[in-house]
Structure 1
Amino acid sequence: MRTLVSVIMLLLVSATAHASVDMHNPNQVIQSVSINTFARLKADHDRLQREPTYIKTVIEEELIPYFDYKYAAYMVMGNYLQQTSDVQRGEFVDVFKTYLVNAYGHILFEYEQQEVEILDLPDYQDKNIVSISVRIRDANNQLTQLVFKLRKNRKTEEWKVFDVIAEGISMLNTKRSELYELMHKKGIDHVIKLLAEKNREFSS
């Protein structure tokens, strides 16, 4: 399962200039991310070996621009979102973003060469959410199929990834299941503190 998650994170990590990616086209977002992923990892391989913490910089620069972490954080909060203050929501989004950066950075060190094939390029006109399927072939010729879910921001009209479904399992729903019940039992401040502690553990 960790290998599968590793593949997911690698696909979300794009290389070099994201300014050239048409964020108004979800198909181009996934194409650019999947095509450029391995080039960036190979280019920075030696530095990452010398400076493991540099992986956080890579994630911040290359993953976060394509990931709607605020929307994902709000989805994790679900109906509990209405019970929080603006300050609490902001704090949760911040620690959730840092948690993603740390978690993805940790997983990236399991990187191995993969081949990526985009299976479909859906018609996204007049839609706010689309799903794009991708097939992964590893060095052992093992195939894995993933589904990326992207959402169009109503204000910017940019498309970003907010969830990945692997083997029928939504990563967003999994994280929501882990944290949603805790919010109701112990409150949002407890969950914020918990994620902050996990972030410190990752950093150490």
Structure 2
Amino acid sequence: MTLLMATTVACIALVSATANADVIRDENPYKLLEKVANETFNRIGAERDQINESLDHFRVIIREEMMPYVDSVYAAKRVLGRNLKDTTEEQRQEFYKVFRDYLIATYGRAFTQYDETKHTVEFDNANRFEEGSKAVTVYTRVIEQGRPPIRMDFKMRYDDNDNLWKAYDMVVEGVSLLNSKAAEISAVIRSRGIDGTIELLREKANEPIRNYDGDESL
């Protein structure tokens, strides 16, 4: 399994940048996920020359196309877990910010494996959505000819404040990105403290985007 599509469809996770007037809205999270993914993939293909000049251009695409739909604050709280109660309000706000930037960089590295000429994504049947639900898991499959499909499940929740479906976790071949990062960050907090963890995440977030080499650990 590659982290390729791990973040390839992470393009479909969700935050709260709903101040953006162009934000895509759909009461059906399955349809929303597909729309956001297609917008992102289309832009990657259209701006491939800029990406080839600098892989850091992925940051721009991810920030503008994906992050308006990634619930990074909710995900950050889940990652902190029990450590959340031991932080000050200032530390929490700083952690939320650097964790979002870290996600952008992580997604950017994963997208270096994406090739619009080779990969396609199959989306879950939108008719599976039950009206009135507030939490769903949307299944997708990344297809590359000659290789087994990569299974990716997106956990999404409805934000009543923003009136928007947001994804907060991605499960690739049964492995939760959120749970993996929670375990890593918990270990870092034990050794470095919350301030040291924030600084490490900031360093990782600011590293230049490079081709994914199979190591995304802190």
TM-score, normalising length from structure 2? 0.82
Match of 1:191 in 2: 197
Match of 2:78 in 1: 75
Match of 2:69 in 1: 66
Corresponding residue to 2:37 among 34, 38, 45: 34
Residue 142 of structure 1 aligns with an amino acid whose one-letter code is: P
User: Structure 1 residues 33 and 8, CA, compared in 2 at 3 Å: closer, same or farther?
Assistant: farther
Residue 159 of structure 2 aligns with an amino acid whose one-letter code is: N
Q: For 2:88 and 2:149, locate their aligned partners in 1 and report how far apart those are by CA, in whole Å.
A: 45
Match of 1:175 in 2: 181
User: Structure 1 residues 124 and 73, CA, compared in 2 at 3 Å: closer, same or farther?
Assistant: farther
Q: Does 1:48 align with 2:46?
A: no
Match of 1:165 in 2: 171
User: How far 1:26 moved relative to its partner?
Assistant: 1.0
Higher helix share: 1
User: How far 1:115 moved relative to its partner?
Assistant: 1.7
Q: Does 1:120 align with 2:118?
A: no
Q: For 1:157 and 1:175, locate their aligned partners in 2 and report how far apart those are by CA, in whole Å.
A: 27
> Which structure 2 residue ranges, 5 or more long, are not aligned?
13-19, 211-218
Q: For 1:203 and 1:105, locate their aligned partners in 2 and report how far apart those are by CA, in whole Å.
A: 6
Relative contact order, higher structure (CA 8 A, sep 6+): 2
User: How far 1:124 moved relative to its partner?
Assistant: 4.2
User: Structure 1 residues 185 and 128, CA, compared in 2 at 3 Å: closer, same or farther?
Assistant: farther
CA RMSD, Structure 1 to Structure 2 (Å):
2.2
Q: For 1:74 and 1:90, locate their aligned partners in 2 and report how far apart those are by CA, in whole Å.
A: 10
User: How far 1:23 moved relative to its partner?
Assistant: 4.5
Match of 2:91 in 1: 88
Q: For 2:46 and 2:150, locate their aligned partners in 1 and report how far apart those are by CA, in whole Å.
A: 25
Corresponding residue to 1:97 among 96, 100, 106: 100
User: How far 1:175 moved relative to its partner?
Assistant: 0.3
After superposition, the C-alpha distances for 1:153-190 in whole angstroms (9 at most, x for unaligned) are 13123111111111111010000010123324542112
User: Structure 1 residues 154 and 185, CA, compared in 2 at 3 Å: closer, same or farther?
Assistant: farther
> Which structure 1 residue ranges, 5 or more long, are not aligned?
none
Q: Does 1:132 align with 2:123?
A: no
Contact 1:23 1:160 in 2 (8 A): no
TM-score, normalising length from structure 1? 0.88
Q: For 1:54 and 1:182, locate their aligned partners in 2 and report how far apart those are by CA, in whole Å.
A: 29
Secondary structure of 2:5's counterpart equals: helix
Secondary structure of 1:175's counterpart equals: helix
Aligned length: 200
Percent sequence identity is 30
User: How far 1:202 moved relative to its partner?
Assistant: 3.6
Q: Does 1:150 align with 2:156?
A: yes
